[in-house]
Structure 1
Amino acid sequence: MSERGDRLFDLVRAATVHLLPAGGKDSPLWGSGFFVAPGWVLTAAHVLRPYLAADRTVLFRVRGEGVDAEARLAEWLITDPRGPKVPLAEDLALVRLVGEHPHECVWLTDRAARHSGALKACGYYPGPPEAHFRMVDAVINGQEDTHGLIIKPDIDLQSGMSGGPLFDPATGAVVGLIKSRRKEKDGGKAVAIAALRRFGETYRTVMAAHDRWHGEEPVSESGDNWIDLQGGPTADQGAVWTPRDRREALALLAELPPPPDEPTVNLIAKKARSGSQWPGATPELRTWRDGHGLLYEGADPLIFLRYLRLVEAHARARGAGSALLGDWITKRLRKDPRRPLHALAQDVTLPDELRPPPEGTGPERVVISYPGPGEGPVVALLLDPVIGAQPVRFFWQIWYDDGDGLPEVHETDPSVHGCRPDELVQALRVPLGGLLESKDREGDPVPLEVGLPAEHFDTAVHRWRFADIAALNDPGHLGARRRLVLRALERRGYPDNRWLDRWQGMTAGRRFEGWRMPPPGAVDPTGYRTAERHRIPVMCRPAGHGTGNVAMKHALNSGHAVALWHIGPHPERGACLPECDTLHARVEKFLETLGSLAELPDRLRHVRQDISEQRPGSTWAEPLALLYDDPRRPLPAEETETVDAPL
């Protein structure tokens, strides 16, 4: 073991703590944790859950080398504190010290790629008489779910080490957190440090404090500094992006306003790489630091400096530029001996989509066209009824299409029996709500498509809300927040000619009228096939049963890709009610505002936003659902295996 390694291990030990009740010296050990920023401890949520599930305000103690302080839970990722176990992706908790106490902080990797290979597992285990620190060799030899790491079986993890850090000696960074050891076996599981990003705004706060603290080049009691020990013998070469460069760059980025959304970070990182994509899937990008972590392949300083220059240009365009960051980029560029290549980091311009809107324009009333193939990202939720289940249950799948390639599965229903309709919002709160939040751009929330069979078209998806508490100026319901459309699950896969022909005819037009569906008299499929292309079917009755369902199926079979209908009750037999005529008249007036078919989803969103804000004259549209089924981007094809109700 090298002297440098020994000194780094001393810093890891100094930053590692154990958690215990607020009582006396001999209180039992709950588990381990480690300092990630001044006053902030990261630990495993299951370490705290037995003691805080009933009351999250309970005080406890954090104890380590030179630290013995009261603390309380700041936030955890657990969605069901009383559930049978804590899922791997939710097993993180952030703890806040009460008062100020000097201590060491680990260096957290900014890379989202999950580690594999050798590292060190650190934590405390019970006495007697007191808890003892332990560091053991460990090997990551597998992955689980989105953020899980598998620790090789021949590693002996002591009870009490849960919540401790996984340290990579090769990079000098903490890359994960110990979740658990295996029952009656060696080895265990861990959570990749990138799962911290799921804390959202709290993550931004903590990581800014982390980078500022390290940027001040703190020196430990032993006289060591974390980053200097990472440096190695070539740390001052101008053509190498060194740990010291990274420390200074991230500290300067931490002083800027955070990015407005994740797609902004994605676009800037991609432009820094001259349009080339990084390997693997794109992780959550909550901070400018996260974008920096995408640039390591090739590790050319000019790529990093180009990224920093673009970030500074983005901030400057919004009146928040940093002279310190700009000056540092210029000075660092002088160290690079490749003068002919300096233009890569000097001559940068923001992409048009990242320029701020003109003064006096508000994004809330700009009509955003619905994206066609290759025109922007779309999230799709497929709700597939479980065959034979009574009452109805759904298996769900979430797909993401970034607009640059084929859609990919983001997450699939892990349940065995599917979800009842009243369980869907809770089940989708984290996987779907988190994905939507991560892909929203400032002023341009990502569209959501919900694929359902026609029998379930009256599912009031536009009334769903994932946030229990919404900001006063933020419409909380999905239909008021984003372009939300329904799609026919029966059409997944390849489109037929009727569907394509009618779509092409509609998108070529600039004038649209409503077509009352079903027409008076018998429900005859002929009228649906011969309806003029500029006419959009409108129904004042639900589409999921009775006459409305028959009419909707005729419309789908005749190639109609767009329709509006009222999901509320309607007499099955007899004439329409007076309010039906009012609805059709209001829809007709609404359709006159369209300049193109692609405006329809966002125009309806504006009306729903008016309803959310209780503006007069808008409530007529509250029960309206919209079918917008673009055959150029059909829903992903059905799996070959039949989905049956479980026995």
Structure 2
Amino acid sequence: MTQPQGRGAWGGSESTYRALAGLVMAATVRIHRPEPGYAPDGSDRGFLGSGFFIAPSWVLTCAHVAMEGEGRHVNVVFKPDPGSAETAVEGAVVAALPERRHAAAGPGGVRVPAPSGGWPAPDLALIRLLRPVEHPCVYVTERPAGMFGGGSVLYTGWTDGGSGQLTRFSGRCQVMGTFGDWAEDDEQMRLDGDRMYPGLSGGPVVDLARGEVVGVLKSRSDGTTGGTSIGVERLRTLPVPPGAVAAESDDPYQAVFHAHDRYHADRHTSPVGTDRTWADLQRELGAGAGLALSPQQRVDLLGRLAELPPPLSTRSLLDLLDRLPDTHPAEHHAAPRGWRDGLGTLYDAPGGDGALELILRYCMSAISAERPYVLPSTQLAEASLWEWVKRMAEDRLSRKFRHELAGLRHNGRHAPGLEHLRTPAPTLEPARTRSAPFVLLALEPRGWERDRYDWRIGVAQHGGDVLPVAEDSRGTASKALPARLAGPLAEAFRRCDEPDDPAVLQVAVDQALMDLEVDGWRVPPDGRPLGVLRPVVIRRLDHSPLLADDGIDEREARWNRTRTAAMRAAVVDCEDGRRVPVPVVEELRQLPYETVPVLCRYGERTHPETAAGLGRVLDGGFGVALWQRRAAEPTAVCTDFHRRAADAVAEARIAAHLPEKIHELRQGVHAGRAETYWSNGVALYYEDPHHPLPGSGQFLEAP
């Protein structure tokens, strides 16, 4: 087979191929039936087949593998590197193509069972993990599989090879052609040249010329070698949501691939760690986006496109592509559905400056396109993509073309009637008013008895009085607190809760207890976590007024600003993925009053800067702050946490809405919604100076 011009290069080094295989196998998983008592010990008990992480918390596999679970639930087992322990996580099948084991409708519209008990093409399924875990992901092509760069592919998966002990397996095959009709969704790539064992179905198929996943292994041949695979572009045929799309998570296709592209952009641009990324290996292979973009430029661009809301529809995306010169999007089977798909249709444009000009025109169209929804971060995403376009044009293209781009940007921003075409951000529900009572839990450590606490529970009224519910000054061990407090808290909640409107729980502690996860307590022990049932916020028992130079109480001034002005997050302990010291109090006080400090590195509590940094934030007069209590790996990329925290603060808009926003996120984590997993372990500091804590001599005194 002749290598097409501009579609990768033959002859990457063996080192590059080994590194590529390592990245693929690290993201390959095995899928088991969720049997009681299952232990991921390498045995084949309940083993169904293979799969791979396509995006954070998302697994792609075959429908005939995933749908053999129990009630659309499976166990996903993975091992990121040879020296690590296996992890088993429950997953739910979100979508299967097709949903049932039936062939296409025959004469008269009658559906008949697929031959030999198999699952008809496209035979794909998406599994969403039901709890957050760290794991690697493959890089998935944005081009149809029929446009693979060479004739050789790598495939991986899990199999016992007849031994009864599951193990990773990889092999290489040649693409021999296709069979089936792409228009009927049953087109498959024919592979031959290597033996395939049972259990490999659902594993990734990688184009070795370009270093990207192009397919999912579907079946093995009845003979001794080879089998078939399904192109990943078949995921574009996932059902379109029937109603209006108001968030990325409303459409699984967009949610998966936006998360995929942000994941790879974040890891490639992060200065943390020295391991080669997918883009690094693609560069070593000589791959790229046709003749226009290097692998590094492509992954950066895809990450920026993934920050935008998706296209309004496939029809709107096709119309946008049709308006570009020398493009023929209708010729690509499995019509493009997302921004990455549209970009993939442009890679085979004629070479030279024209190829890059076409891509930049496409980006300008994406910036000005009608949106299904608009987020607080949308304007920043448009500006980020425009900066990328300008940088690429200034580096490689004529001044005349750059002038044209500037005109497109101006017209796109100021076109009459543009704003009314964009769906406005959803209106937030009214927050609880200050008059709503809340439950106050005060925990004080007994300095002379380690890990034991005195506690008091009361109901805070709108007038500032705190009515007592219960207290105990005999010292309760930390492990016994949830059970001991279950009854008194239930009574306090009963006094405050309204139907569908649970009262806020404010937990007042010393600074040393700011990492206490009261929101994770289960009271009663067989109930749901407190943070899932109601908003839970942290307060500090020990702080004093902070006066500005003019004598104004700065704490109250900052609080009043966050009640009326749109808040904005500021990460204060992390830059470019690296821990930095939290600025001194004098510098923090220079931040705008509507700022919400975010501590990304608080989970590293053994670091001497952790407690001191939080102390400076609390002493800086801020009434609202967020911090991450979960410890991350030293090489973990935290870009997504920064991004999502900023989005959450912007979406809440004012301080009164933030407790409910964090409550909503905690509910999402508990319910297994992948888009909320970034918030797992986040704490909210919420110090309303209009509801000061009573003095020690007054607390729990009746009015």
| TM-score normalized by the length of structure 1 | 0.50
Q: Which residue, out of 13, 17, 23, partners 1:11?
A: 23
- The alpha-carbon deviation at position 139 of structure 1 amounts to 1.5
Query: Residue 211 of structure 1: CA displacement?
Result: 0.6
2:252 to 202, 206, 212: 202
Q: Which residue of 2 aligns with 1:121?
A: 155
- AA partner of residue 304 (structure 1): I
Identify which of 326, 329, 348 aligns with 1:297.
348
Structure 1 counterpart of 2:205 = 166
User: One-letter code of the match for 2:133?
Assistant: H
Q: Distance in 2 between matches of 1:236 and 1:153?
A: 26
Aligned to 1:64: 79
Equivalent in 353, 357, 361 of residue 306 of structure 1: 361
Cα distance between partner residues in 2 of 1:237 and 1:122? 25
Alignment of 1:166-565 (within 5 A): 166-199=205-238, 200=240, 201-217=251-267, 223-232=275-284, 240-272=292-324, 274-277=325-328, 280-298=331-349, 300-314=355-369, 320-321=378-379, 322-343=382-403, 345-348=405-408
Provide the residue aligned with 2:128 in structure 1.
96
| Structure 1 contact 69–98 (Cα < 8 Å) conserved | no
Is the 1:318–1:356 contact (alpha carbons within 8 Å) kept by the matching residues of 2? no
Matched, 1:131 2:166: yes
Whether the 8 Å CA contact 1:74–1:94 is kept in 2: the answer is yes
The alignment partner of 2:346 has SS state of coil
C-alpha contact (below 8 Å) 1:238/1:335 kept by paired residues: no
Q: 2:175 aligns with which of 130, 137, 140?
A: 140
* Distance in 2, Cα, partners of 1:134 & 1:184: 19
Deviation at residue 326 of structure 1 after TM alignment: 1.1
Separation in structure 2 between the aligned mates of residue 27 and residue 358 of structure 1, nearest angstrom? 57
TM-superposed deviation, 1:95: 1.2
Report the alpha carbon displacement of residue 253 of structure 1 after superposing the two structures with TM: 1.1
Shift, 1:37, TM fit: 0.5
Q: Distance in 1 between matches of 2:313 and 2:197?
A: 41
Q: Deviations over 1:155-186 (max 9, x none)?
A: 31111110000001111100000000022442
Give the 5 Å matches for 1:25-36.
25=41, 26-28=43-45, 29-36=47-54
**Alpha-carbon distance in 2 for matches of 1:251, 1:76:** 27
Query: In 2 relative to 1, CA 126–356 (structure 1 residues): closer, same or farther, beyond 3 Å?
Result: farther
Determine if contact 2:51/2:60 at 8 Å carries over to the other structure: yes
Q: 2: distance between equivalents of 1:186 and 1:311?
A: 45
| Partners of 1:238 and 1:114 in 2: CA distance | 15
SS of equivalent residue, structure 1 residue 231: helix
Distance in 1, matches of 2:63 and 2:369, equals 37
Distance (whole Å) between structure 1 residues aligned to residue 218 and residue 204 of structure 2: 10
- Cα 1:362–1:63 change in 2 (3 A) is closer
Superposition CA RMSD, Å: 3.6
Structure 1 residue 91: deviation in Å?
Answer: 0.6
Query: Structure 1 60/221 Cα, relative in aligned 2: closer, same or farther at 3 Å?
Result: farther
Aligned to 2:193: 154
Answer whether contact 1:156 1:187 (CA < 8 A) is retained: yes
Shift in alpha-carbon separation, 1:164–1:239, aligned structure 2, 3 A: closer
Q: What's the counterpart of residue 74 of structure 1?
A: 94
C-alpha displacement of 1:151: 2.5
Change (3 A) 1:195 1:356: farther
1:224 maps to a residue whose letter is: R
Task: Report the secondary structure of 1:157's partner residue.
Answer: coil
CA change 1:233–1:121 in 2 (3 A) is: closer
Aligned partners of 1:351 and 1:198: how far apart in 2?
Answer: 34
- TM-score normalised to the size of structure 2? 0.46
Gaps of 5+ in 1: 364-647
What SS does structure 1 have at the residue aligned with 2:158?
A: strand
Report whether the alignment pairs 1:20 with 2:32: yes
Q: What is the alpha-carbon distance in structure 2 between the residues aligned to residue 49 and residue 318 of structure 1?
A: 33
**Cα offset for 1:267?**
2.0
User: Distance between the aligned counterparts of 1:70 and 1:317, measured in 2?
Assistant: 33
Residues 14-73 of structure 1, C-alpha deviations (whole Å, 9 max, x = no match)? 111111234132243311111110111101111133334xx22x3423223345122222
Instruction: Output the CA distance in 1 between the equivalents of 2:32 and 2:289.
Output: 46
Task: State the distance in 1 between where 2:147 and 2:316 align.
Answer: 26
Q: Distance in 2 between matches of 1:224 and 1:165?
A: 20
Residue 88 of structure 1, CA deviation = 3.9
Displacement, 1:123? Answer: 1.2
User: What residue is the counterpart of 2:140 in the other structure?
Assistant: 108
Note the alpha carbon deviations across 1:371-394, whole angstroms, 9 max, x for none: xxxxxxxxxxxxxxxxxxxxxxxx
Shift of 1:279: 8.1
Aligned letter for 2:206?
F
Match of 2:59 among 33, 36, 41: 41
Moved more, 215-224 or 244-253: 215-224
In the TM superposition, what is the alpha-carbon distance from 1:87 to its structure 2 partner? 4.6
8 Å Cα contact 2:317-2:342 kept in structure 1:
yes
Question: Contact between 1:239 and 1:336, CA under 8 Å: does it hold in 2?
Answer: no
SS in 2 for 1:103: coil
**Equivalent residues of 1:89, 1:195 under 8 A apart:** no
What SS class does the counterpart of residue 309 from structure 2 fall into?
coil
Q: Which moved more, 1:327-336 or 1:298-307?
A: 298-307
Q: CA deviation at 1:203?
A: 1.0
* Residue deviations 1:308-351 (CA, integer Å, cap 9, x gap): 01110225999754111111211121121544544564544899
May I ask how many residue pairs the two structures share in their alignment?
358
Greater CA deviation, 85-94 or 116-125? 85-94
Question: 2:160 is matched by which residue type in structure 1?
Answer: P
Distance, in Å, in 2 between the alignment partners of 1:297 and 1:345 is 22
Shift of 1:357: 6.3
Change (3 A) 1:222 1:34: farther
Identity percentage over the alignment?
Answer: 29
- Rounded to whole Å, the distance in 1 between the matches of 2:288 and 2:68 is 49
Q: Secondary structure at the match of 2:121?
A: helix
Q: Secondary structure in 1 aligned to 2:210?
A: coil
Residues 411-461 of structure 1: CA distance to partner in whole angstroms, max 9, x if unpaired?
xxxxxxxxxxxxxxxxxxxxxxxxxxxxxxxxxxxxxxxxxxxxxxxxxxx
Given the superposition, is the C-alpha separation of residues 221 and 252 from structure 1 closer, same or farther in structure 2, using an over 3 Å criterion?
A: closer
Deviates more, 1:173-182 or 1:183-192: 183-192
Q: Which runs of 5+ in 2 are unaligned?
A: 1-12, 103-112, 241-250, 424-703
The answer (yes or no) to whether the contact 2:191–2:229 under 8 Å persists in 1 is no
Query: 1:279, 1:362 → 2: CA distance?
Result: 26
How many Å apart are 1:250 and its aligned residue?
A: 1.1
User: Which residue identity does 2:88 align to in structure 1?
Assistant: A
Distance 1:233 1:337, change over 3 A: farther
- Equivalent-residue separation in structure 2 for 1:324 and 1:8 (angstroms): 30
Instruction: Give the partner amino acid of 2:369.
Output: H
